Amino acid sequence: MPIDLLITNCSLLPEPGREQLIAPGFIAVSGSRILASGPMEECPSSTGGTVIDGQGDLAMPGLINGHCHAPMTLFRGMADDLALSSWLNEHIFPAEARHVSAEMAYWCSKLAAAEMLLSGTTTVADGYFFEEEVARAFAEAGLRAIPSQAIIDFPAPGVPDPGERLTRAASFLDAWQDQDPLISPALFAHAPYTCSAETLIRAKELARGRRVPLFLHLAETSQEHSLISSPQGATPTRHLDALGILDRDTICVHCVWVDDQDLDILADRECGVILCPQSNLKLASGIAPLPRMLERGIRVGLGTDGAASNNSLDLFKEMGLAAKIHKIPSLDPVAVPAEQILHAAARGGAAALGLADDLGALHPGKLADILLIDLHQPRMQPFYSPNTLVYSGSGHAVRSVIVHGRLVVEERQILSIDLEETKAHVLRLSGQVAQPELRSPP
C-alpha cells in the first residue's frame, strides 16, 4: 500500500502499562489508516507522500471529547457562577430561544471545531439543536464527530412544536447517515427531567431502529436526583433502566448522583459513561465516583460539556482536573493515577463511544488520528513520563494534528478552517446577545 504520510524521528507514546517511550520512532499512514508504526530502524523509505519531521515531538492518539454542545460557544462567559437550575432556566434557555439558529449553530460549531483541533481533540460527540449545521461545520473542519440531534419535551430551537421532535431527529439521521466518513450521526435525549418516559422510550426505539447511539445527561445534580427519585426507591438511573433505555449503545453523561446499585446497573447494561468534571465543578453539581466506575469495568471517557459551563474545550485541562479531583472524596492521592486519565481521554473515550476498534491507539489498522506534542516547550520539560501530559500539559503544546490521515493543524495553525472569517461571524452573532449586567464585587 502507498505511504501517503510519514512521520519520522518522533517519540511514540507507550502502550498502557509500558513505561518506555519508543524514541526515535515513526508512523506511516496510508489513506485514512495507520499502516505501520515503531522504532526508526524499521521505518520504510518514503514513496513520495508527505513527510513530517517529528524531531522533538511526542506522537499520541488524538483526544476524544465525549460530550460537547458546540454551538454554545456563543454563550461562553455569558452567565458564569450560577446554580444549574438558575443557569439553565433564567439564562441559557431564554438565550437559546432568542439566539439559536441554523446560522449560529454552523459558525459557532466551526469556532468550537477550531478550538478543539488546535488543542488536540480529533473526535467529538456533540448534542444540540440544528445538528445538521453542526455536522456540516465539523465535516468541513475535518473533525471526526458524532453529532446528535437533541430531543426535549418543550418548544426548542428549530423544533417549535415538541410533537415534531422525533421526526426532526429522524430526518437529521436520514441526512447524515453514511454521508461522510468523519460524521456518524446519533441522538441526544436531553435528560430524564426534560424528557417524559414516553419520549425517552420513543427516542431509544428510533436509535435502536437506526443502529445509532443514544446520549443522555444522567444524574447530573442533586435537584435531578430529588425530582426523579421516588419513595419506591427509583433514582434517575433506575428510572431509565425500568424504561428499558440502558444498553451498550446508550451513553450516559455526568453520572454524578449515582449509588452503588446505579453503578451496578450501568455496568450490567454495559453503558458508556462520559464524565465532565470541569462543568460539574463550575456548576457545583458534585464529583462523579470515577474509581467505583473503573472498579466495575465501566467504559469511561471524558468530555468538556459546552463552552457555557466549562468554559474551555481544551481536553488537556479536563485531564489535569480529572486526575486530581477524584483523589478528594477518598483523600487518597493514589486514586485514579494520571495514566488512567490519559487512557480515559483517548482509548477509554473511544471505547465509551463504541469506537475502540478504530480509535485510541497508534497501531497499524487504526484510523490515523494523531497528535504531535511539542516536548520542547518549557512546561513539558523535563519529560520523565506521560504523566507530564496530564499534570502539566496544555492544548498549547499541540504542534500538529492529523485526522483521518489528513493534516488539519500544522505548526499550531489550522489548515482546514478560515479562522478569521469564522471569528468575524461569531463576533457579529455575539453582538446580538445581551451583555450580562456587571455585578459589583461582594
- Site residues, Zn ion (CB under 5 A): 305
**Residue whose CB is less far from Zn ion, 35 or 189:** 189
Report cis status (omega within 30 of 0) of the bond before 311: yes
- Residue 290 has what DSSP assignment? H
**Residue whose CB is less far from Zn ion, 125 or 335:** 125
156 vs 352: CA distance, rounded Å: 28
H or E element that contains 65: strand 63-68
Neighbours of 345 (CB within 10 A): 31
Shortest spacing between CB 329 and Zn ion, in angstroms: 22
Q: Are 99 and 386 in contact (CB under 8 A)?
A: no
**Residue whose CB is less far from Zn ion, 262 or 305:** 305
Q: What does 198-216 look like in DSSP terms, one character per residue?
A: HHHHHHHHHHHHHT--EEE
**Residue whose CB is less far from Zn ion, 52 or 187:** 187
**Residue whose CB is less far from Zn ion, 27 or 70:** 70
Shortest spacing between CB 240 and Zn ion, in angstroms: 16
H or E element that contains 183: none
Shortest spacing between CB 309 and Zn ion, in angstroms: 7
Shortest spacing between CB 72 and Zn ion, in angstroms: 9
Shortest spacing between CB 258 and Zn ion, in angstroms: 16
Q: Are 9 and 23 in contact (CB under 8 A)?
A: no
98 vs 101: CA distance, rounded Å: 9
Q: Per the structure block, which three cell numbers stand in for 254? A: 455526568
Distances (CA, A) of 54 to 342, 370, 371: 21, 12, 11
Distances (CA, A) of 5 to 9, 46, 282, 286, 362: 14, 8, 41, 44, 14
Residue with cell 444549574: 84
248 vs 289: CA distance, rounded Å: 20
**Residue whose CB is less far from Zn ion, 203 or 368:** 203
Shortest spacing between CB 190 and Zn ion, in angstroms: 9
Shortest spacing between CB 21 and Zn ion, in angstroms: 35
**Residue whose CB is less far from Zn ion, 122 or 304:** 304
Nearest to 215 by CA among 246, 180, 178, 176: 246
Neighbours of 64 (CB within 10 A): 31
Q: Are 280 and 220 in contact (CB under 8 A)?
A: yes
Shortest spacing between CB 423 and Zn ion, in angstroms: 24
**Residue whose CB is less far from Zn ion, 127 or 320:** 127
Shortest spacing between CB 215 and Zn ion, in angstroms: 9
Residue nearest Zn ion, Cβ-based: 305
**Residue whose CB is less far from Zn ion, 4 or 126:** 126
Burial of 233 (0-12, 13-18, 19+ CB in 10 A): exposed
**Residue whose CB is less far from Zn ion, 214 or 361:** 214
Q: Per the structure block, which three cell numbers stand in for 228? A: 426523579
Q: Are 34 and 363 in contact (CB under 8 A)?
A: yes
Residue with cell 508512523: 27
Shortest spacing between CB 178 and Zn ion, in angstroms: 27
